[in-house]
Amino acid sequence: MKALQLYTDNRFVSPYAMSVFVALHEKNLDFELLALDLEAGEQRNAAFADLSRTQRVPTLVHGDFALGESSAITEYLDEVFTESPLYPRQVQARAVARQIQAWLRSDLLVIGQERSTLVVFCGHHSGPLSARVQLAVDKLLDAAQAWLADGREYLFGEWSIVDVDLALMLNRLILNGDPVPESLQAYAQRQWQRPSVLKWRQLSRS
């Protein structure tokens, strides 16, 4: 058994599992990918529930230590495996990176209700956005344009895992055909072509 295992969904559509998968590849870490059938409730099986008290994916296992929640996992990986950093090294930039991750996973979670990752990874399309979700989309686009106002390729000058998270959220809209400024489309496309991201995109989906 490899020292690192990553539990994910067997359809490989979880944006959070993708974030950890990309992080592991960016760190050039050897790991075993283990997929659970969430629709069949495999995450509630006793063996996995004993391992992951939250019964959620992604879950990372490192030796006899198990950890859930994607941003907690990527921060852990950055602290334990210091080569190829996932977050900015400057303290304030790192704090902003964590802020953006938390915001994408909380305040903007509503976008996923009408633009699921099935749009991103399986080519599904959805109808017009509701007024409530459009408000969240407007906030996303305004913030992303402000962060990338000078045309930079990455949020913090160099690549970080947050670029993947932000690109994924933008691609929920872009790949559905929703209006997104061209500069943000170009930014998301650049992140989407990163080799570690391509590895996730190329996984077989049923």
Task: Give the CATH number of domain 91-195; options: 3.40.190.10, 1.20.1050.10, 3.30.1600.10, 3.50.30.30.
Answer: 1.20.1050.10
pLDDT tens per residue, range 90-99: 999 999 999 9
pTM for this entry: 0.96
Span 69-117, pLDDT tens digits:
999 999 999 999 999 999 999 999 999 999 999 999 999 999 999 999 9
Residue 206 confidence (pLDDT) above 70: no
Does the 4-85 domain belong in CATH 3.40.30.10?
yes
Per-residue burial over 124-162, b if 16 or more Cβ lie within 10 Å, else e, is: eeeeebeeebeebbeebbeebeebbeeeeebbbeebbbb
- Please give the share of the chain, as a percent, with pLDDT higher than 70: 99
- Which pLDDT value is given to residue 196? 98
Q: What Rg do the C-alpha atoms of the chain give, in angstroms?
A: 17
Give the residue range(s) of CATH 3.40.30.10 domains in the chain. Answer: 4-85
